Amino acid sequence: MSTVGTLKECVQLPIKDNELVDIVQKAKDWAIMHGAAMRSKSNFSPDTLNFAPFVLVPSSFPRKEFERAIHLQPTINRLMHNVAHDEEFLTTTLADTIKVDEFTGNLFNVYKKVLANGFGQAITLGLLRSDYLAHTFDDNTIRQVEINTVASSFGGISTYMMPLQSYVLRELNQAEKIARMPKNDALAGLCDGMIKAWEIYANPKAVIMFIIEDVSYNICDQRFHEFYIREKCPHIKVLRKTLTQVHDEGKLGLNKELLIGKEEVAVIYFRAGYEPGHYPSHNEWDARYLMECSRAIKCPSIHYHLAGTKKVQQALAVPGVLDRFLNDPEEIKAVTKIFTGLYSLEDNETGNATYEMALKSPEKFVLKPQREGGGNNIYGIDIPSALKKMSRFERSAWILMDLIHPPISRGYMIRPSGPVPPPVVDMVSELGIFGVIIGDVDNIICNYEAGHMLRTKLSTANEGGVAAGLGALDSPYLID
Ligand code: ADP
Ligand code: MG
C-alpha cells in the first residue's frame, strides 16, 4: 500500500540493542502475566498461551482525530440502531446481494422468517466497533474503514495495552510520555452493556450465553468479558456454547424463553456466527433462528447483524441517505466527513460506471465482499482480474471503496517467535472505537462510547488482522 506522511514517534529510535533485548523480554512477560495473550494457531494447546502480538511503545495518532472519533460514537450507535430497525431500507439495499451471496442470503432468510413470525424480543443490545484510518492526503483526518455490529473483538485485551505500554515507558525512563495516552475502559464499558441488558430481561435466575467458535484462539479477550461479569455480578452465570450445541441443547419455553438444558438465557453475546465456517450444517442456521425467535436479548439481533454488512455501509454513503436516519444537520455533516468514496457494483448504470472506474485505476481502490474477520478483500492491481472473472450478477455482492492512505509511524512489533532484538519497522495504525446501545424501535435506553483499540500493521501489508498474524495490538500516543 502506498503511503505518504509520517508521524513523529513517541520515543527516540532506535533503542540500544542491550536495552531493547531486556525491555522486550520484560514486556512479553508482562503481556502473558496480564492476559494480553492468545492461543497459538500453529501449536495449539488449551493449556498454554502465547502473548498477543503487540507494539512495544504506543504509536502516534492525531489527538484531534482521536477525539473526533470518540465524540462521534453515540451518533454512529444511533445511526446503526435506526438502520437496523428500517426493514424497507435493509430489504431494498440487500436485495441484489442476497441473490448472489449465499451467506448474507441465509442471514436475510432468518430475518424474513422472524419478521413473519414476530420478534420474540423487541430490545436489542449493540456492542459496536467503528474502525478508522487517518488519511494523509487530507491532513490526517479519519476515514471510516468499516463498522462492526457482530463479535466486535479486542475490547478485553485492548484495555491492557495502555498499562503494558505505560510499564514499558516507565522502564525506559520516559514516564512523562504516559500523559499523552488516553485511558481506556473498553472492557468495563462493553460488559456493563451486557449486564444492563441482563437487568432489563429481569429474571434473576437467567444467564448470559456467549456463542463461541469450535476453537477460540482469541480466548483471553473472551474470558476477560466473562470474568468481568462474574466478578462484578457473581449472581450472573455465564455459559459458553457453539451454534451446534445450541441446536442440540436449546429449545423455547412456553413464553419464548430460550432454554439451554434447564438454564434460561437472558442475553446472547455472539462471538461467532459471522462467517460461513461457523455454520457447518443446517443445524447451526436452525439454532440461529431459534435464538432470534426467543425472548433472549441478542447481541446482535439479526437486523443489527445485517445493518453491519459492507453493502449497507456503501448504501449509507450515497448522498442524502443519512437524512433518513439522523435529524440533526450537524450530525449528518460529521458522519459524512468520515465516509470515504464507497461505490455500488450492482447490475445497473451506476454499478457499470463503478466497474469501468475500477478497471481504469485499480490502484485507488479496495474491493470488498460481504464478509467479516479479515483476509477477504482484494486490493489495487488485483482488482481487474478479480472483477473480470465475475458475472455482472456476481459483482453486485461486492462493493468498491477508495483506498485510505494512513500516515507511517516507526516502531517495534513484537510477536511470538519473532526476531530478538526486533528491527525498527514502518507501521500504520487503525483505530477502533467501541459503542454500546440498547433499545427497541421506539426507544433508546442507553447509548454511549465505550473505549477504544488500536491495531497496527506493517505499512506494506494490506490488512492487519491480529488473529491472522499480520497485525499487533497497540494503543494511541496522542500528538497535536
Ligand atoms: P473485515 O470485515 O474483514 O475486518 P475491513 O473492511 O475491516 O474488513 O478490511 C480489513 C482490513 O483491510 C482493514 O482492517 C484495513 O487494514 C484494510 N482496509 C479495508 N478498507 C480499506 C481502505 N478503504 N483503505 C485502506 N485499507 C483498508
Ligand atoms: Mg475490519
- Please state, in angstroms and rounded to a whole number, the distance separating the CA atoms of residues 209 and 191: 13
CA of residue 455 to ligand 1 center, whole Å: 12
- Please state, in angstroms and rounded to a whole number, the distance separating the CA atoms of residues 186 and 428: 22
* Ligand 1 neighbour 463 (Cβ under 6 A): yes
- Active-site residue 288, yes or no? no
In sequence order, the 6+-apart residues with CB closer than 8 A to the CB of 383 are 358, 359, 362, 365, 366, 367, 400
Q: Report the b/e string of 157-181 with b at 16+ CB within 10 A.
A: bbbbbbbbbbbbbeebeeeebbebb
Continuous H helices in 85-160: 87-100, 102-117, 155-158
Atom of ligand 1 nearest to the CA of 428: 16
3-class secondary structure, 165 = helix
- Name the residue at shortest CA distance from atom 19 of ligand 1: 145
CB-CB contact of 131 with 430 (8 Å): yes
Q: Provide φ and ψ at 228, rounded to 5°.
A: -60, -50
- Active-site residue 411, yes or no? no
- Active-site residue 310, yes or no? yes
* Ligand 1 neighbour 372 (Cβ under 6 A): yes
Q: Which of 105, 373, 374, 418 is catalytic?
A: 373
- Active-site residue 183, yes or no? no
CB-CB contact of 111 with 306 (8 Å): yes
- Active-site residue 170, yes or no? no
Beta-bridged to residue 131, according to DSSP, are 146, 432
- Ramachandran region, residue 273 (left: φ > 0; alpha: ψ -120 to 50; beta: rest): left
Q: Which of 226, 284, 331, 372 is catalytic?
A: 372
Q: Which of 28, 140, 146, 439 is catalytic?
A: 146
Task: Kindly report the pTM of this predicted structure.
Answer: 0.97
Query: According to the 3-state scheme, what is the secondary structure of 317-343?
Result: CCCCHHHHCCCCHHHHHHHHHHCCCEE
β-bridge pairing 50-51 and 37-38: antiparallel
* Ligand 1 neighbour 401 (Cβ under 6 A): yes
Cα distance from N-terminal residue to C-terminal residue, the chain? 26
CA of residue 463 to ligand 1 center, whole Å: 6
In sequence order, the 6+-apart residues with CB closer than 8 A to the CB of 16 are none
Domain limits, the chain:
17-340+404-479, 341-403
CB-CB contact of 123 with 200 (8 Å): yes
Beta-bridged to residue 365, according to DSSP, are 402
Three cell numbers, residue 287: 439454532
Q: Which of 153, 216, 396, 429 is catalytic?
A: 153
For 341-403, which CATH class? alpha beta
> In this structure, how many other beta carbons lie within 10 angstroms of the beta carbon of residue 95?
13
- Give the pLDDT of the chain (480 residues) as one tens digit per residue: 444 689 999 999 999 999 999 999 999 999 999 999 999 999 999 999 999 999 999 999 999 999 999 999 999 999 999 999 999 999 999 999 999 999 999 999 999 999 999 899 999 999 999 999 999 999 999 999 999 999 999 999 999 999 999 999 999 999 999 999 999 999 999 999 999 999 999 999 999 999 999 999 999 999 999 999 999 999 999 999 999 999 999 999 999 999 999 999 999 999 999 999 999 999 999 999 999 999 999 999 999 999 999 999 999 999 999 999 999 999 999 999 999 999 999 999 999 999 999 999 999 999 999 998 888 999 999 999 999 999 999 999 999 999 999 999 999 999 999 999 999 999 999 999 999 999 999 999 999 999 999 999 999 988 877 877 679 999 999 999
Three cell numbers, residue 96: 441484489
- Name the residue at shortest CA distance from atom 23 of ligand 1: 403
Measured at the alpha carbon of residue 276, what is the angle toward residues 270 and 278, in degrees to the nearest 5?
45
Three cell numbers, residue 246: 445450541
